A and B are shown apart, each in its own frame.
Chain A
Amino acid sequence: MLRLERRPSPSKVWSYITPLVAVVATMIAGGLLFYVLGKNPIEAIRTIFWDPLFGEFASYSRPQLLVKAGPLILIATGLALGFKAGIWNIGAEGQYIVGAICGAAVALAFYPMEAWFIFPLMIICGALGGMAWAMIPAFLKVRFGTNEILVSLMLVYVAEQLLAAMSLGLLKNPEGFGFPGSRNLQHYPSAFNAEVFAGTGMHWGVVAALIAVIMAYIMLGRHVLGFQIRLTGEAPRAAGFAGVNTARLVMICLGLSGALAGLAGMFEVAGPAGQVSIDFNVGYGFTAIIVAFLGRLNPLGILLAGLLMALTYIGGELAQLTLGLPSAAIQVFQGMLLFFLLAVDMLTNFRIRFGKKEAV
């Protein structure tokens, strides 16, 4: 008979191995799924994980890796801070949208003026917008004890409606022949989030993501705030006795993750997406939750996890083109990854023992 036995302390080795086990398990289960859909599983897996990097069209798809990974890493880093402390911001998608709207609104307000300060101002406003959106659940939790999970999620739907209202109303392109959507910021040099090195896909959002990862890593390991976050997550009562101000921590964690999600949205709208439109958001805010867990809530892990997840996006698009794999299949694939992660995570805290329990 199988039996679980708690380890005296979490296993270091297993905490590194489990994400790999989960990825392999997902590949196997995903292969089965693709087989059921009538595709050659090995070919499908190769198309998703190998071809975007080393295949025929790799020179086109490799830069896309950074474009997709940037927002995922940026959002997931912020989310991980909260998740570590047991503060569940799952409305990053909404904060991402509001950040994009705020950033784009600044640019459109100055259009067609050319000035150096427009892009920095957009960055600030994008971050503030996302932060403000995340401060709603933070404030309600601190003041009224409202569940932040439900409030932040409800605000995603509100933000989606706001996005529709903006792209049909206030921010609509006056020269757009009545089509919904704002002016294209890619044609507005002062606001365009251009690539730092041409042809690499590395735009300023990717730079921001790298900075965020480094800052978060230092903060969690070296700063007292990081200590408080970890303490609150692992032993809330002990944190209380140690004098951690929980209300402040909730505000900081939600505010930071909101600001980072807002930044991601702003860089996206000013760069790869180019304009505020009804279908601007593509679910990065939700996928980032998977990224955060895949990276074991560790900033460096998130960096790798973000790249891997970006790979599944690009590989998924490629598989859609070459194999006719439905786009929803990739969504299922990503969902499965989170399942396997959570399932094998047990191995870090528990040992599996065979046989009956001996008498004490």
Chain B
Amino acid sequence: MDLSAINPVLLIASLMVAATPIMLAAIGELVAEKAGVLNLGVEGMMIIGAIAGFATAVETGSPVFGFVIAAVAGAALSFLFVILTQYALANQVASGLALTLFGLGLSALMGQSYVGIKPPSTPHVNLGFISELPVVGPILFSHDFMVYVGILLIAATWATLKYTRVGLILRAVGENHDAAHALGYKVIRVRIIAIMFGGACSGLGGAYISLIRVPQWTEGMTAGAGWIALALVVFASWKPWRLLIGAYIFGGITVLQLNAQAAGARIPVEYLSMSPYLITILVLVFMSADRSRAPASLGRIFHASN
């Protein structure tokens, strides 16, 4: 195996790209979980976003419009979760699974005529000489715009949760929905908004995979990214900035593993491909010792009469 074939600058630049889809999905899920809703349908919403964004970008030629539609599609699918869990008071775990199974099927159906097509490429940010600086340029200033959108979303979520009234209400609903209800906050309404925000973010994350990271459409292409995003929220102990770190660590492992494959490591490809999933399990084990950070009402059903 030839380690010198791995260029550290390119490695860091590409890990930021690898981290972006799970980061986008995870920040949405973090908001939903902060509001007390455990939505296991991230994988389903991501893959719907992936095909919706891909199809739109191919038809219109505009990746930006593709991302917008992907967010809308993710939010639309999450509305099914809203109907099940907020109106029909169904179990959140089962409903999330239903969303994933349904999303995987629906995306395969929608994507039939899009297999093997190349999407329009998303332009990279070009800041002139700043983007051409050695080391710093390729790492920080020459990505596609979604990398920055992801980081901005994390910053915005952090600021909103920490400093605004909206954030306070959201956290109150997630910590104790009965108390929040007694104070006159609309528990269901807050949760609906949080769930749909999560759906939109997942949709963006999915579209990032199909439009930029791969870029192509294949059935089931998210390959567990949505589940990894769920694990990432636990890893981050429900804190936005730790989500960023976690996503980059995870992206780094993915990229290293791919580099090792390309550099011709002696280990068969299949065993290297296991590593992201095994690392996720390992991280979960380390982080689950501290459950105190989880929102107290996470996964519990709210019905005003109780």
Which residues on A are within 8 Å of B, measured CB to CB? 4-6, 88, 90, 140, 144-147, 149-151, 153-158, 161-162, 164-165, 168-169, 286, 289-290, 293, 326-336, 338-339, 342-346, 349-350
Contacts and interface: CB of A to CB of B under 8 A. Distances in A.
Contact of A145 (B280, B291, B305): B291
Contact of A144 (B227, B288, B305): B288
8 contacts: A6-B303, A150-B231, A150-B281, A154-B281, A161-B274, A165-B270, A286-B101, A329-B105
Most buried by B among A88, A333, A342: A342
Contacts of A342: 84, 88, 90-91, 94-95, 98
A322 B90 CA distance: 37
A332 B285 contact: no
Most buried by B among A6, A161, A293: A161
Interface string B204-240: 0000000000000001000110011011001000000
B288 A335 contact: no
A156 to B, nearest CB: 8
A38 to B, nearest CB: 13
A345 B108 CA distance: 28
Contacts of A345: 88, 90
Nearest to B96: A149
User: Secondary structure of the B side of the interface?
Assistant: helix
Contacts of B109: 326, 328-329, 331-332
Interface string B100-125: 01111110110010000000000000
Contacts of B285: 140, 144, 146
Nearest to A332: B105
Given A332-B106, A342-B95, 11 more contacts: A140-B284, A154-B277, A157-B224, A158-B278, A326-B109, A328-B109, A328-B219, A333-B105, A338-B98, A344-B88, A346-B89
Nearest to A349: B89
Given A328-B108, A339-B84, A146 B274 contact: no
Nearest to A335: B102
A333 B101 CA distance: 10
Interface in B63-113: 80, 83-84, 88-91, 93-95, 97-98, 101-106, 108-109, 112
Given A4-B89, A151-B281, A342-B88, A90 B97 contact: yes
A303 B240 CA distance: 46
Contacts of A336: 102
Nearest to B106: A332
Interface residues of B, number: 47
A319 to B, nearest CB: 13
Nearest to B227: A153
Most buried by A among B91, B98, B227, B289: B98
B200 interface: no
Contacts of B224: 153-154, 156-157
Interface string B264-306: 0000101101100110110011001101000000000001011
Contacts, number: 135
A97 to B, nearest CB: 13
Contacts of A165: 268, 270-271
A154 B280 contact: yes
Contacts of B93: 88, 149
B286 to A, nearest CB: 8
Given A150-B227, A335-B98, A155 B281 contact: yes
Contacts of B80: 339
Contact of A343 (B83, B97, B108): B83
Contacts of B22: none
Interface of B: 40, 80, 83-84, 88-91, 93-95, 97-98, 101-106, 108-109, 112, 219, 223-224, 227-228, 230-231, 234, 268, 270-271, 273-274, 277-278, 280-281, 284-285, 288-289, 291, 303, 305-306
A289 B100 CA distance: 12
B96 to A, nearest CB: 9
A6 B268 contact: no
Contacts of A349: 89
B105 A335 contact: yes
A45 B84 CA distance: 25
Q: Which 8 A-B pairs have the closest CB atoms?
A: A331-B105, A335-B102, A328-B108, A165-B270, A332-B105, A328-B109, A342-B90, A338-B98
B44 to A, nearest CB: 9
A333 B98 CA distance: 12
B141 to A, nearest CB: 34
Contacts of A157: 223-224, 274, 277
A330 B106 CA distance: 10
Contact of A339 (B102, B268, B306): B102
Contacts of B102: 332, 335-336, 338-339
A331 B108 contact: yes
B270 A168 contact: yes
Contacts of B90: 342-343, 345-346
A334 B224 CA distance: 20
A350 B305 CA distance: 11
Given A331-B104, A334-B105, A4 B303 contact: yes
Contacts of A90: 97
B223 A147 contact: no
Contacts of B91: 342
Nearest to B95: A342
A157 B40 CA distance: 17
Contacts of B270: 161-162, 164-165, 168
A147 B271 CA distance: 24
B288 A146 contact: yes
Contacts of B219: 328
